[in-house]
């Protein structure tokens, strides 16, 4: 998994399964705003490669600091569940790819 922390007034933590970086997924459902898409840009998601335990530890620490999270991919989302920062209700899916957004 890859993790990148964007330092702003509030830290934004981008976590992604490494094999998804650089890919784009578009929903088949059309809304008034058009189709939803999940664009896993390298500039936003590509950071440091970390193990499951490292990712879970970082998530727990960053959640205490009022950070927001962008989490994409089965492995990454499962880590967020294990870390306790999301619930199953917060998981969405586009073209079979799971993701979660967390605003603390």
Helices (H), 32-73: 42-45, 52-63
> What pLDDT score does 65 carry?
87
Residue 64 tokens read as 């205490």
pTM score, two decimals? 0.90
C-beta separation of 6 from 46 below 8 A: no
CA atoms within 13 A on the CB side of 73: 21
Pick the CATH number of 2-103 from 3.30.1120.10, 3.40.190.10, 3.40.1210.10, 3.30.1860.10: 3.30.1860.10
> What pLDDT score does 32 carry?
60
| CA separation for the pair 85, 78 (Å, rounded) | 10
pLDDT category at 35 given cuts 50, 70, 90 is confident
Interval 14-31: pLDDT, tens? 999 999 999 999 987 766
Interval 37-68: pLDDT, tens? 899 999 999 999 999 999 999 999 999 988 99
């Amino acid at each position: 998994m890859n993790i990148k922390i964007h330092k702003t007034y509030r830290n934004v933590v981008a976590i992604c399964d490494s094999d998804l970086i650089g890919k784009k997924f578009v929903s088949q459902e059309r809304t008034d705003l058009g189709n939803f898409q999940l664009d896993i840009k390298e500039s936003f998601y590509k950071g440091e490669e970390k193990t499951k335990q490292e990712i879970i530890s970082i998530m727990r620490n960053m959640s205490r600091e009022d950070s927001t999270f962008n989490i994409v991919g089965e492995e990454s989302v499962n880590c967020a569940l294990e870390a306790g920062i999301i619930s199953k209700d917060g998981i969405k899916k586009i073209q079979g790819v799971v993701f979660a957004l967390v605003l603390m």
